[in-house]
């Protein structure tokens, strides 16, 4: 359910449109004899996209995220085809949780801005963020994040950053040097920064960490002198560097990277080597992962590529700083820069 285009996109007009939408939904529900709609809010989630972001359907993803993170979703689409400099539309999406009579609705605001007008959306956004709650900014606008961003893009990005308590980017497929520079650049004024490449590693890191829960292995942690990381592409990806940074950030291990042959999106394997034992966690099929050690124990995991939903769900659970990421990032940066 969505309203018509709101122009000029002034916060008051947008909020009025949102209010009308909720009243309408409540009325509709009442007429159908259903329980009234519900809304809860834990944060404002701002998603900036550009024209190249064609496949991304924010309007579908935000309601999914609402299950775990009730929020006001604001999609900021920067588009040359925008009819006005800045225009807005409000919408609500409702769904009924399985087995429940009462439905949940989530509100979403779409702001379409012409590239030249992007720097002017600051006041609009400032009037739309939910009071007293964190503002998380997921930037999918590649151009603005690039070192070659135009002055308008830089200024536009800055107005959103100024409002944000946390910013989320995705460095998948990026050159590690520019990816890490970006993370450093965003990590200013105490703002939390998250990289979805790091979140993709959680599935790898947790089972490996669990291995060292066993006191027998915890005490032998320092014996694992080498970590080998097999990754896609000719050069280590940011994800491979994060993995190396995480493991070697704590202990004296040699780091070796290998380029994977054949189909191996992201990482293919992580091997931890000591004189007594080798532990390997590897992707053995598109949805199967195998963890085994040379002492014979083996465990199989079912795992498909993390969806954007899963990654965002994880990141939105961490609103403050992320010390483990900070350690891994610093070490990964050292690995990259120190050579």
Partner 1 sequence: MYQENWPDTYFWPYHQTRTMSVIVQPVTEANLLQDPLRFDRHVPPCAIVIFGASGDLSKRKLLPSLYRLFYERRISQSFAVVGSSRTPMSDDQFRDKMKESVSKFLEDAPFDEDVWKSFAQCLFYVAGDMSNPESYEAIREKLDEVEQSHQTAGNVLFYLSTQPSFYAEAVKALGAHNLTKGRGWRRVIIEKPFGHDLQSARKLNEEIHQVLDESNVYRIDHYLGKETVQNILAFRFGNGIFEPLWNRRYVDFIQITAAESIGVEGRGAYYQEAGALRDMIQNHLSQVMATVAMEPPTVFDANNVRDERAKLLRAVRIMKPEEVEKYAVSGQYGPAKVGGQDLLGFRQEPSVDPNAQTDTYAAVTFFIDNWRWAGVPIYIRTGKRMPKRVTDIAIQFHAPPLGLFSQETKSGLREARPNLLVLRIQPEEGISLRFLSKSPGSGMRLRPVSMDFNYGSSFGERSPTAYETLLVDAMTGDPTLYTRQDMVDASWQIVQPILDSWANTKFDFPNYDAGSWGPKASEEMLARQGHVWRIP
Q: What b/e sequence results for 272-308 when a residue is b if at least 16 CB atoms lie within 10 Å of its CB, and e otherwise? A: bbbeeebbbbbbeeeeebebbbeeeeeeeeeeeebeb
Nearer CB in complex with partner 1: 79/313: 313
Q: Provide the token pair at 122.
A: 């600051």
By CB under 8 A, name the one of 248, 306, 316, 329 that touches partner 1: 248
Does residue number 25 form part of the binding site for partner 1 (CB under 8 A)? no
By CB under 8 A, name the one of 212, 265, 274, 309 that touches partner 1: 212
Does residue number 241 form part of the binding site for partner 1 (CB under 8 A)? yes
Distance of CA 321 to the CA centre of its chain: 15
Q: Write the DSSP assignment of 100-111 as a string of letters.
A: -SS-EEEEEEEE
By CB under 8 A, name the one of 52, 254, 286, 307 that touches partner 1: 254
| Spatial distance between the Cα atoms of 18 and 90, rounded to a whole number of angstroms | 6
Site for partner 1 in 182-201 (CB under 8 A): 199
Q: Provide the token pair at 321.
A: 């700083």
Does residue number 134 form part of the binding site for partner 1 (CB under 8 A)? no
**Between vectors from CA 175 to CA 194 and to CA 239, what angle results, nearest 5°?**
50
Q: Are 167 and 51 in contact, with CB atoms under 8 Å apart?
A: no
Q: What binding mask, one character per residue, do residues 72-111 give for partner 1 by CB under 8 A, x or -?
A: -------------------------xx-x-xxx-------
Shortest distance, CB of residue 137 to partner 1, whole angstroms? 20
Site for partner 1 in 257-316 (CB under 8 A): 257-259, 261, 271, 280, 282, 288, 291, 297-302, 314
Shortest distance, CB of residue 211 to partner 1, whole angstroms? 6
Q: For residue 86, what is the enclosing H or E element?
A: strand 86-95
Q: How far is CA 147 from CA 179, 196, 230, in A?
A: 10, 19, 29
Nearer CB in complex with partner 1: 158/284: 284
Nearer CB in complex with partner 1: 161/291: 291
By CB under 8 A, name the one of 182, 253, 267, 311 that touches partner 1: 253
- Give the binding-site size for partner 1 (rule: CB under 8 A): 72
């Amino acid at each position: 359910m969505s309203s018509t285009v709101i122009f000029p996109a002034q916060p008051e007009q947008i909020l009025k449109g949102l209010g009308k939408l909720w009243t309408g939904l409540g009325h509709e529900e009442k007429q159908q004899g259903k329980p009234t709609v519900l809304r809860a809010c834990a944060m404002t989630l701002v998603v900036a996209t550009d024209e190249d972001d064609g496949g991304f359907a924010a309007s579908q993803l935000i309601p999914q995220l609402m299950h775990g993170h009730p929020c006001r979703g604001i999609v900021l689409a920067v588009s040359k085809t925008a009819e006005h400099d800045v225009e807005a539309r409000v919408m609500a999406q409702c769904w009924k949780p399985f087995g429940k009579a009462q439905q949940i609705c989530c509100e979403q605001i779409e702001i379409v801005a012409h590239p030249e007008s992007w720097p002017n959306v600051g006041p609009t956004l400032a009037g739309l963020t939910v009071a007293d709650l964190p503002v998380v900014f997921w930037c999918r606008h590649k151009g603005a994040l690039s070192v070659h961003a135009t002055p308008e893009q830089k200024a536009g990005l800055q107005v959103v950053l100024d409002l944000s308590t946390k910013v989320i980017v995705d460095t998948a497929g990026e050159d590690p040097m520019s990816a890490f520079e970006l993370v450093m650049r965003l990590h200013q004024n105490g703002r939390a920064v998250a990289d979805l490449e790091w979140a993709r590693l959680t599935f790898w890191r947790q089972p490996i960490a669990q291995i060292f829960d066993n006191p027998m292995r915890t005490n032998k942690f320092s014996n694992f002198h080498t970590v080998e990381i097999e990754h896609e592409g000719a050069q280590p990806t940011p994800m491979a560097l994060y993995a190396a940074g995480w493991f070697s950030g704590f202990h004296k291990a040699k780091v070796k990277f290998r380029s994977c042959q054949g189909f191996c999106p992201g990482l293919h394997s992580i091997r931890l080597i000591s004189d007594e034992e080798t532990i390997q966690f590897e992707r053995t099929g598109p949805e199967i992962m195998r963890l085994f050690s040379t002492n014979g124990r083996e465990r199989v995991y079912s795992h498909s590529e993390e969806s954007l939903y899963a990654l965002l769900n994880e990141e939105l659970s961490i609103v403050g700083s992320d010390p483990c990421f900070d350690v891994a990032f610093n070490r990964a940066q050292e690995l990259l820069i120190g050579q």
